Structure 1
Amino acid sequence: MKKFFLTVSVIFFFLTAYSQKSTDILIEVSYSSLQKDTITMLYQNNAWAATPIRNKELADPTANNHFSIQSDSIGKFIYFSLQKKDDSYLLVNYIAEPGDSVKIFVNRDGLIFRGKGSAKYQCRYDMDKIARAFPFFNSPRSYHTENKDVVLDSLYSSFYPVSASNSIKHVEGAKNCSNFVLEAYRDQISSLSYYVLKADLYGKSEKQILSSINSSYNVFGSDVTLKEKRRIQNTLVSIYLKKDKQSFNEIPDSLLAYSAGFLDFKTYQLGRSEANFSGAISPLPNPDKIYSGVEEIYENYEGILRDRLVTHYLLKSHKRLKNGSAEMATALKFVNDLECISLLGSLNNSTKPGSQAYNFSLSDITGKIRTMDGFKGKVVLLDFWFTGCTGCKVLAQRMKPIIGSYKNNKNLVFISISVDKDTVLWKESVSKEIYTNKGSIDLFTEGLGTNNPVVKHYGVTYYPTLILFDKKGRVVTTSVPSPENQKSKEALLSLIDKQL
């Protein structure tokens, strides 16, 4: 009987899909009566999986979870996610190609995919199950409330190399098994899906390994000596360099350029410095020259891969680059793809020095509505954060003495905007003063989180993000020094004082 109803549902689905263009994307989610939920579809055109400027949402007003995307807005393909009413996800960054007509059946045992193009969905779903079978372990961290700092427990210091080796084994084991699943589906999916899924898999795995070891590379307990720290760091570098180097050569550049996994990995890898793990394993070809991420991309890639990689890199990283405006200007000189030029231009116009601030309208902790225009005549240092953000905790504690030093200056305002969606959670975090300080004005994004217009306007994808505005409400810089040490603290104070 269950099989009969499934068959009838599939037939009905295709009958209702008949009126759609053959190149449109049609996706429907069907729940069993015991599990019914309301779904929102999130996607970006032309495979921009991590581009907040292009983020789109589809919500079915009939609550039947039936979504249709017209072919003229798709591009090569799209990445889409299905978000449930409680903000958890049913699917994350799945590939949909023009012409897909897929029905997703949700039951207690998992998901079943039926229809045209459904094989790649099932393939990705099976690959995800493999990934869950190989849990990814980060190095042990803790937040010390007394020291108000994030550290790795010093008891684990001697086990860093073992932890790193195990992380590599876990990730590569999951990757190899997932790749086996992908090969089994190769004849059932398009060439585009096959190569993009492979690039995503490789890229995600490499980023996981880098992220895991990088977290162990710089954060140590206070009782670890400098000599021991250097020994551990050298061992971590040695372990990574001995592992098999992942090759992307089998994937055509024309498809690699559209892989979110590959672009994310390369962007993470490019965010290096002499002090972090990525810098240690990727020595610069000319130590006497300071290479920017944009310059490295220009020298090592060509065509659409170069254009999309540099666009992705700047969209994700421009807020934390020391010379973000200069790198943006360099990129705009050589990028040829019209869509990339448009994306970079939009971002550049909203963040370049001198551009007018976005006039947000957000509520503070008392419920009072605050607008950016209401702070004209004052210098504003704005930061974006969310509950659970480790870097945000660290920044808040480092900013505490700085905010305190300006407490009597009425010409300067510190504003903290949270992208939390839960009001109660936000208020609890503010009251505990872990992510913010008493001297700052705390604002809430009205439950919209990263979809709030002010977050989208500035293309915030990295947390915490700092932006400085002058007294006329114009952007001074999005590359605000984070007070990590005395030198950067002095640079921040100097930057603020120049505007007062």
Structure 2
Amino acid sequence: MKKTLLICLLGLLCLPTSTTTAQVADSPGADFLHRSVPQVSPDPGDSHRGGAIRPDTLPEQNGLVDHSGQGQKSAGSSASGVGFFTLKGEISAHPSDTLDLVYELVQRELDPYYGLMDIQKDSISLQKGSFYAGTSRKQTFLLRLPINEPFARFNLYAKDVPLLQNIWVQPGDSLIVHWNLSKQQLHFSGPAAAHVRVQRQLKEIALGESEGRNPVMIIPNAAVMLNTQEKKTEYNAVLESYVPAWNRKLELLETETMRIERAENLFSSRISHPVFVELERYSDVLKAPLHQWLKIYWTGVFQNSALKFVKACRPKNHDWAEVILGHGLDVSGLLPEDLSGILPFEFAESLLMENILLESLTPVSFLHLTASIPGPLRDQVNSLYLIREHKDLPNADSLFSRVLSESRVLWIGAQLEVIRKSVLKGSDFSPHGFIGTSGNRVFPEEWKGKIVLIDYWLSGCGACQDFAENTFLPLMREFETQEDLLFVTISGDRNEERWKKSLASGKYTTPQSINLYSGGSSHPSLRQTFIRAFPAQMLLDREGKILQAGEFPKNLEGWIRLIQSYLPKESSLKTVGESNKTLSVSTTDTLLK
């Protein structure tokens, strides 16, 4: 169903709208390179991508893993406890080869970025094949994994190299994997083999189309890039030799018109994408539910790609709203009639991005924009919105209450309640310890009795350096005599030596603050407080509870006023009276740099 409500509101787009900008990485001379991402931790989270690990192991004798005792009933699912996925492997390899096979079965993906999903992951023990079973000189395995949802995402890795990735399986599916390591051949047999072959073919088509698309650079002036005669000559040679569908050229998108045209092409290509043409060819091979699921999944993948480009363009006028509205997802007729569970994350994320962009371009709130989405999917999209945006929402607590009261999917509601209790004002800060500069363990309980400002940073992060130079360090100078206030920095680095080198550089912090090492965003405290992008800040009260986790001031003066508001009145008055001169000299100089 098209957002007819918004079409009526397009005439109001001249009204003042949100100035929210896309969080993209700036590069010298260019606003954005397509496919660039915000500065985030290189740590993908725990090795199990943040979900709950289940102790799935292979018996040494019979080789059969049966997880029937571990299947968890899915609240709100339309197919709770419905069956198993059986995977058999026959591997031809030299006895000296180290295989290190690992599998993942992912269900109920609310937000993989923050590890909000159900996941089974474990290594696979191999057994010697049998002459009588036709597997002599081979190594074999057999898994039987419970699936509590209509579909689950399956991955199979060998030494971190994917053999199967993002393959959708259903309860009752059985698959045999034949892998010849020396010949680098991978084949499939068994009842679900045809389904897997089709999915791999769709992935190949999508990858080929993506690789053949021209790269782009969003740049205000091409002369910034082509600033020498040598570069101009090379670029012109590429343009002259360019043949569509044969080679590629870098498109320099200098104007809004050029960017909108590119976005229109991306949206239009989704409709006629070769993946959907190929998918229709196999409509008789695939079961109807799988065919529909794959259509939903790939629709989300391609729509997401187009919307990420739009976000990178930092849209600000009504022309962009018209583009998004004209190519918005029409979910009617695409979704299952008995929808009651969670759809592919890619599809939900595309609806999230679409409506966040529209919220920034129109006078309509996000929850009003999503009101027409069918109930369970609306729960999924609205929850994603709160998970991703809660730190910057002025009324986050009331929005959590509203979405929780309307939620129909119990599992989603339970996840939101956990998040609400972990990150909103008044929540207990995670008690987990960190490593100090001397190698000692430092625990947050040691900070009780003081107001604490925490700055999360990452080595190599330009925005982290900017915050330190223009805000964090000036704040330390401003409140250096304030005994009721602690300054703490927590690094998201995975490498301790790199953290120590960054400390020594003085670009991110100073020895006068409490400087701590987390070991990466998989640290329990960072996971609990949803710290994945850097820099990030948090204020704690004297009882170790969260005072503020978002909506922070944009300038130094605002930060000073904010911190003063949390300090005892006598301390605040002392700071104001005694540091006016310091502020007028040191912090003003900092701001003018």
Q: 1:455 to 1:20 in 2, by over 3 A?
A: closer
Q: Which protein is richer in helix relative to its size?
A: 1
| Match runs of 1:164-203 below 5 Å | 165-166=261-262, 169=265, 173=269, 176-203=273-300
Question: What is the aligned counterpart of 2:363 among 284, 289, 307?
Answer: 284
| Alignment partners' CA distance in 1, 2:105 and 2:294 | 17
2:526 corresponds to which residue?
455
Deviations 1:133-191, CA, capped at 9 Å, x for gaps: 2237463589xxxxxxxx99955562564355346546754770222232233333333
Q: Does the CA contact (< 8 Å) of 1:139 and 1:152 recur in 2?
A: no
Letter matched to residue 249 of structure 1? S
| Mean CA deviation greater in 204-213 or 408-417 | 408-417
Q: 1:122 to 1:138 in 2, by over 3 A?
A: farther
Question: What is the aligned counterpart of 1:74 among 148, 157, 160?
Answer: 148
| Match runs of 1:201-216 below 5 Å | 201-216=298-313
Structure 1: runs of 5 or more not aligned: 1-14, 143-150, 219-232, 286-290
Q: Does the CA contact (< 8 Å) of 2:352 and 2:384 recur in 1?
A: yes
* Residue 490 of structure 1: how far off its partner (Å): 4.5
- Higher Cα radius of gyration: 2
Q: Does the CA contact (< 8 Å) of 1:138 and 1:167 recur in 2?
A: no
| Alignment partners' CA distance in 1, 2:281 and 2:165 | 22
Percent of paired sites with the same residue: 18
* Residue 328 of structure 1: how far off its partner (Å): 0.7
2:43 corresponds to which residue?
none
| Match runs of 1:116-127 below 5 Å | 116-127=191-202
2:575 corresponds to which residue?
none
| Alignment partners' CA distance in 1, 2:396 and 2:376 | 22
Give TM-score, length-normalised by structure 2.
0.62
| Alignment partners' CA distance in 2, 1:32 and 1:433 | 54
2:550 corresponds to which residue?
479
Q: 1:163 to 1:479 in 2, by over 3 A?
A: same
Q: 1:154 to 1:416 in 2, by over 3 A?
A: farther
| Alignment partners' CA distance in 1, 2:142 and 2:420 | 33
| Alignment partners' CA distance in 2, 1:315 and 1:241 | 23
* Residue 212 of structure 1: how far off its partner (Å): 1.7
1:498 corresponds to which residue?
565
Q: 1:345 to 1:337 in 2, by over 3 A?
A: same
Letter matched to residue 262 of structure 1? F
1:225 corresponds to which residue?
none
Letter matched to residue 323 of structure 2? Y
* Residue 85 of structure 1: how far off its partner (Å): 4.9
Q: Does the CA contact (< 8 Å) of 2:270 and 2:303 recur in 1?
A: no
Q: Does the CA contact (< 8 Å) of 2:151 and 2:170 recur in 1?
A: yes
| Mean CA deviation greater in 113-122 or 356-365 | 113-122
Q: Does the CA contact (< 8 Å) of 1:416 and 1:442 recur in 2?
A: yes
Q: Does the CA contact (< 8 Å) of 1:103 and 1:115 recur in 2?
A: yes
| Alignment partners' CA distance in 1, 2:190 and 2:505 | 50
| Alignment partners' CA distance in 2, 1:462 and 1:154 | 29
State whether structure 2 residue 384 is matched by structure 1 residue 312: yes
Letter matched to residue 139 of structure 1? M
Q: 1:251 to 1:413 in 2, by over 3 A?
A: farther
| Match runs of 1:56-135 below 5 Å | 56-60=119-123, 62=125, 68=143, 70-71=145-146, 74-82=148-156, 85=159, 93-104=166-177, 105=179, 111-133=186-208, 134-135=210-211
CA RMSD of aligned residues (A): 4.2
Letter matched to residue 237 of structure 1? W
Q: Does the CA contact (< 8 Å) of 1:471 and 1:499 recur in 2?
A: no
Q: Does the CA contact (< 8 Å) of 1:377 and 1:471 recur in 2?
A: yes
Deviations 1:212-256, CA, capped at 9 Å, x for gaps: 2322327xxxxxxxxxxxxxx659728935965443333125279
Q: Does the CA contact (< 8 Å) of 2:83 and 2:148 recur in 1?
A: no
Q: Does the CA contact (< 8 Å) of 1:199 and 1:259 recur in 2?
A: yes
Q: Does the CA contact (< 8 Å) of 1:40 and 1:82 recur in 2?
A: yes
Q: 1:393 to 1:48 in 2, by over 3 A?
A: same
| Alignment partners' CA distance in 2, 1:255 and 1:97 | 16
| Match runs of 1:31-430 below 5 Å | 33=93, 36-48=98-110, 50=112, 52-60=115-123, 62=125, 68=143, 70-71=145-146, 74-82=148-156, 85=159, 93-104=166-177, 105=179, 111-133=186-208, 134-135=210-211, 137=215, 139=217, 155=225, 158=254, 161-162=257-258, 165-166=261-262, 169=265, 173=269, 176-217=273-314, 237=320, 240=323, 244-252=327-335, 254=339, 257-272=342-357, 279-280=360-361, 283-285=362-364, 291=365, 293-297=366-370, 299-384=371-456, 386=458, 395-396=467-468, 398-400=470-472, 401-424=474-497, 426-427=499-500
Letter matched to residue 175 of structure 2? V
Q: Does the CA contact (< 8 Å) of 2:432 and 2:525 recur in 1?
A: yes
2:541 corresponds to which residue?
470
Q: Does the CA contact (< 8 Å) of 1:199 and 1:256 recur in 2?
A: no
* Residue 423 of structure 1: how far off its partner (Å): 4.2
Deviations 1:430-454, CA, capped at 9 Å, x for gaps: 55667x43365454443xx443322
* Residue 470 of structure 1: how far off its partner (Å): 0.9
Q: Does the CA contact (< 8 Å) of 1:414 and 1:440 recur in 2?
A: yes
Letter matched to residue 301 of structure 2? K
1:5 corresponds to which residue?
none
Letter matched to residue 165 of structure 1? E
Structure 1 residue matching 2:354: 3-state secondary structure: helix
1:145 corresponds to which residue?
none
Give TM-score, length-normalised by structure 1.
0.72
Q: 1:139 to 1:464 in 2, by over 3 A?
A: farther
2:85 corresponds to which residue?
25
Structure 2: runs of 5 or more not aligned: 1-61, 69-81, 128-139, 226-251, 568-593
Letter matched to residue 332 of structure 1? L
Deviations 1:16-72, CA, capped at 9 Å, x for gaps: 56978692224467766487543444454334452624454522273789685653x
Q: Does the CA contact (< 8 Å) of 1:263 and 1:309 recur in 2?
A: yes
Q: 1:303 to 1:423 in 2, by over 3 A?
A: same
Structure 2 residue matching 1:381: 3-state secondary structure: strand
Q: 1:157 to 1:262 in 2, by over 3 A?
A: closer
* Residue 258 of structure 1: how far off its partner (Å): 1.2
Q: Does the CA contact (< 8 Å) of 1:81 and 1:90 recur in 2?
A: yes
| Alignment partners' CA distance in 2, 1:16 and 1:83 | 19
Structure 2 residue matching 1:182: 3-state secondary structure: helix
| Alignment partners' CA distance in 2, 1:67 and 1:423 | 40
